[in-house]
Amino acid sequence: DEWKDRGSAVVARKEADRDSSPTTRVVKKGVKDFNFGRTLGEGSYSTVLAATDRTTLKEYAIKVLDKRHIIKEKKVKYVNIEKDTLNILGDHPGIVRLYYTFQDERSLYFVLDLATGGELLGFLKRLSTFDEECTRFYGAQILDAVAYMHSRGVIHRDLKPENVLLDDKMHIKITDFGTAKILAPPKPPPGDGSDYYQGDPMGGIDDTRANSFVGTAEYVSPELLTEKAACKASDLWAFGCIVFQLLSGRPPFKAANEYQTFQKIVHLEYEFPKGFPPVARDLVERLLVLDPTKRFTIDYIKSHKFFEGIEWGRKLWQQKAPRLK
Ligand code: ATP
């Protein structure tokens, strides 16, 4: 069976029978449980529709994937990665949550958080640039979500403003985990016998998919281009590109074609536009570092002066988003 459905969300309904001995029946959601509405967007292998749960009236985004098309294009692996990572990352306000998965003869269905605001890129294009306050807030939310995924052993590998969606509170929800990498769970320290988390001794280095380019040209890290290896720090390179882009309106490395973009990246060839805030410049310069082991780590980014005043963790998600201007 090509489409494993293990671990998918189910709805448990408690019922008492006549003898009042309680039984639990597990009822799986299906297409019939939703009213499908407007199209939110189309991907290469999917259509995303707004939908309402007929019972609870809660609104979702349902990603509908065409099974035949995915098999023909050999994308089964990516669909499974997306589902597996979303199941691992089930509970962070900054990551699109996967509630249910089901299928019919033709399609696979992923029931997701509805991000009514659409892509962060759309807002950036409309405003052309964000001011420092908005960049600080959205940068902080993105970083907090990335910190969470890294703590759960997931590297996104394709962070960019198109993959950052906004919900009805104008808070971010990171999406598109089809090219993510799930790191092997760390082994406990020898002789210890406990499952104490020691961190990943390889720093998340992954060379298992040599020669397969993942990601988007403008945000791809130099180590992926030169060593064919992505690690947690590769997401922080992309984060540096995003901070640069929010403040200046364009990504730091951009050329007429992919090859020229890659050349710029491996030679660290980029320039700050006039008027780029100096504190933000300092942060970006510590992120756009060719050697991933010398790049700023999440803890250093969080305590950098650019993020002064940010309350990390739960409070960041209770805060009112600054008005985009
Ligand atoms: P591709 O598969 O070609 O890389 P994609 O990753 O954008 O494209 P989808 O994930 O199917 O493809 O998304 C299609 C569109 O639907 C996107 O443009 C996105 O803006 C929108 N979309 C995706 N998920 C949601 C969501 N949870 N809420 C609102 N809109 C969404």
Q: Are 223 and 292 spatial neighbours (Cβ–Cβ below 8 Å)?
A: yes
Catalytic residue status for 158 = yes
Ligand 1 pocket residue status of 165, Cβ below 6 Å: yes
Q: Are 142 and 174 spatial neighbours (Cβ–Cβ below 8 Å)?
A: yes
Atom in ligand 1 nearest the alpha carbon of residue 46? 11
pLDDT over 80 (residue 195): no
24 pLDDT band, cuts 50/70/90, is confident
pLDDT value for 191? 55
pLDDT value for 185? 78
Give the angle subtended at the CA of 147 by the CAs of 204 and 245, to the nearest 5°. Answer: 100
Atom in ligand 1 nearest the alpha carbon of residue 115? 28
Q: How far is CA 7 from CA 84, 181, 191, 263, in A?
A: 9, 18, 32, 43
DSSP state of 194: S
Here the tokens at position 228 are 């064919």
Q: 242, exposed or middle or buried, with CB in 10 Å at 0-12, 13-18, 19+?
A: buried
271 pLDDT band, cuts 50/70/90, is very high
Ligand 1 pocket residue status of 96, Cβ below 6 Å: yes
Q: Are 83 and 102 spatial neighbours (Cβ–Cβ below 8 Å)?
A: no
- Nearest one of 186, 107, 123, 137 to 308, comparing CA atoms: 137
| More confident call, 258 vs 203 | 258
Worst-scoring range by mean pLDDT, 63-72, 188-197, 266-275? 188-197
Ligand 1 pocket residue status of 48, Cβ below 6 Å: yes
Query: Which residues neighbour 33 within 8 Å (Cβ) at sequence distance 6 or greater?
Result: 53, 54, 55
pLDDT value for 184? 83
Q: Are 54 and 34 spatial neighbours (Cβ–Cβ below 8 Å)?
A: yes
pLDDT over 50 (residue 192): no
* Cβ contacts of 119-123, under 8 Å, gap ≥ 24: 119/161, 119/162, 119/163, 119/164, 119/165, 119/166, 120/161, 120/162, 120/164, 120/165, 120/166, 120/172, 121/160, 121/161, 121/162, 121/164, 123/166, 123/324
69: helix, strand or coil: helix
325 pLDDT band, cuts 50/70/90, is confident
Q: How far is the CA of 80 from the centre of ligand 1 (A)?
A: 16
- pTM of the full predicted structure? 0.87
Kindly report the length of the chain: 325
Task: Find the catalytic residue in 158, 176, 206, 235.
Answer: 158
* Cβ contacts of 38-44, under 8 Å, gap ≥ 24: 40/114, 40/118, 41/118
- Rounded to two decimals, the ipTM of the complex is 0.97
